[in-house]
């Protein structure tokens, strides 16, 4: 279970790093693209994802529902409900709230020149999810750290709150793991 949380956190960090960059020293602020994507919708809008994680010989499946509880000029409040199936046993996790600020620190242009910045490629691709076809921006991020290579692919669409339609990640090297996530339901309000 701890490894599953680590893998989920690692994949989230990799995607966030690729999309957000690091903060600038002078703390200039910009619109948060995650907030902006949720701000297009009314409270009650929800998205549901199915995720399969394979690591260290174990498979974990999760179903996560994100529901917009409140949108204000300063933040979006998203309720997260997760059910996990680990070793054949289903566990419902307690709901949690996540606050997404409307503004975030601007990325540091110098960070893109650092040697340890992940390699990023982008293209477009149609993806079928939740009974529809979405025209998506496909982003591939490859990084090498601590004897491991991670390749994360995300498909994003501005028509979906949070923008994620699909995500796949593979880690190889001193540890191997894979994660696949796809949008299974979208209920706009």
Residue 28 is classified by DSSP as: -
Q: What is the pLDDT of residue 75?
A: 97
- Over residues 69-96, the pLDDT tens digits come to 999 999 999 999 999 987 788 999 999 9
Domains with residue ranges and CATH for the chain: 2-187 (2.40.360)
Let me know: does 36 contact 158? Beta carbons within 8 Å: no
179, pLDDT greater than 80: yes
What predicted TM-score, i.e. pTM, was given to this entire model? 0.78
């Amino acid at each position: 279970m701890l490894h599953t949380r680590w893998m989920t956190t690692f994949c989230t960090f990799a995607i966030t790093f690729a999309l957000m960059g690091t903060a600038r020293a002078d703390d200039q602020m910009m619109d948060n693209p995650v907030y902006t994507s949720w701000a297009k919708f009314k409270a009650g809008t929800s998205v549901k994802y199915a995720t399969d994680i394979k690591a260290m010989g174990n498979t974990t499946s999760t179903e996560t529902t994100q529901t917009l509880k409140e949108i204000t000029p300063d933040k979006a409040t998203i309720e997260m409900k997760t059910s996990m199936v680990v070793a054949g046993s289903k566990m419902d996790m307690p709901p949690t709230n996540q606050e997404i600020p409307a503004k975030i620190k601007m990325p540091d242009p110098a960070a893109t020149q650092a040697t340890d910045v992940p390699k990023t490629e982008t293209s477009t691709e149609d993806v079928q999810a939740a009974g529809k076809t979405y025209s998506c921006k496909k982003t591939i991020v490859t990084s090498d750290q601590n004897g491991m290579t991670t390749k994360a692919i995300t498909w994003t669409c501005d028509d979906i709150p949070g923008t994620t339609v699909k995500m796949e990640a593979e880690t190889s090297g001193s540890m191997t793991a894979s994660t696949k996530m796809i949008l299974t339901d979208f209920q706009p309000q």
